[in-house]
Amino acid sequence: MMPKFEPSFSNSMPEEFFLQKAEILARKLLGKVLVKKEDSHFLAAMIVETEAYLPQNDFASHSAVGLTKRNAAMFEKGGILYVYKSYGIHHCVNCVAGEKGVGTGVLLRAAIPLLGIDEMKARRKSEKIETLCKGPGNLGKAFGFTLKDNLASLRSKELFFQSYKEIKEENIMVTKRIGITKSAELELRFLI
C-alpha cells in the first residue's frame, strides 16, 4: 500500500539535486514522484526504474556523438527534460543531470501511478494500473509527453520531482541496461 501523496511544489527537489552525476541521480530518483500539472489536475507517479547515460565512454548515450540538434538538451544544465522519439513512435523522457556542457542524463524507465490514473488509462488505452507507466515509452505516453516538452524545466509549478519515499541502498537492484547494444556491459540500470 502506497502512502497518500499530495503534490506540493514547495516540497520539490532543489536545483542542486539535478547537478549530480547521472549514475548518482539515477539512484536518487528512485522513490521520488514525477508531478505534472495539467489544467486544474495533477498526474503523478513514483519512479521505480531508471537508467543512467554517461558523458564519457558510454557509446549507448545520445551524447556520445557530441552536441547535435537532437541531443542538445543533454548538454544543458541539469534539471530539465530531454525528450526524444524512439523508433518513430514512443516519446522517451530523460532527466538531464550535471552541469551545462557535460552531456548526461537519466532515462525514466518505469513508475507507479499515484494521481491522474484515469487520464493515464485513457492515454494508454489500458485498465492495468501496474503497466500504465512500465517501460519508458509507456511512461511518456501516460504522462502525455511529446517533443514539445523537450527542454522543459523540472523546477516549475507545472512539472517537478517531489520527495515521497526514501529507498534504502539494499533495496536498489543494479543491472546492465536493457534494449541497447553499445556499452551494454555497463551496470547503469537501477530499480527498486
Ranges of each domain in the chain? 15-191
The confidence score (pLDDT) of residue 81 equals: 98
177: closest CA among 111, 131, 112, 109?
A: 109
CA R_g for the chain: 15
Q: What is the reported pTM?
A: 0.95
- Helices and strands in the chain, H and E counts: 3, 9
Q: How far apart are CA 149 and CA 80, in angstroms?
A: 9
Q: How far is CA 37 from each of CA 143, 181, 191, rounded to the nearest angstrom?
A: 10, 36, 26
Residue 7: CB atoms within 10 Å: 19
Q: How far apart are CA 31 and CA 52, in angstroms?
A: 16
7 within 8 A of 115, measured Cβ to Cβ: yes
Architecture of domain 15-191: Roll (3.10)
pLDDT tens for each residue of 108-121 = 999 999 999 999 99
Q: How far is CA 44 from each of CA 11, 48, 150, 171, rounded to the nearest angstrom?
A: 14, 13, 19, 22
Q: How far apart are CA 38 and CA 18, in angstroms?
A: 23
Percent with pLDDT over 90 in the chain: 92
The confidence score (pLDDT) of residue 16 equals: 97
pLDDT tens for each residue of 69-102 = 999 999 999 999 999 998 778 999 999 999 999 9
The confidence score (pLDDT) of residue 185 equals: 95
Task: List the pLDDT tens digit at each of the 192 positions of the chain.
Answer: 677 899 999 999 999 999 999 999 999 999 999 999 998 899 999 999 999 999 999 999 999 999 999 999 999 999 999 999 987 789 999 999 999 999 999 999 999 999 999 999 999 999 999 999 999 999 999 999 999 999 999 999 999 999 999 999 999 999 999 989 999 999 999 999
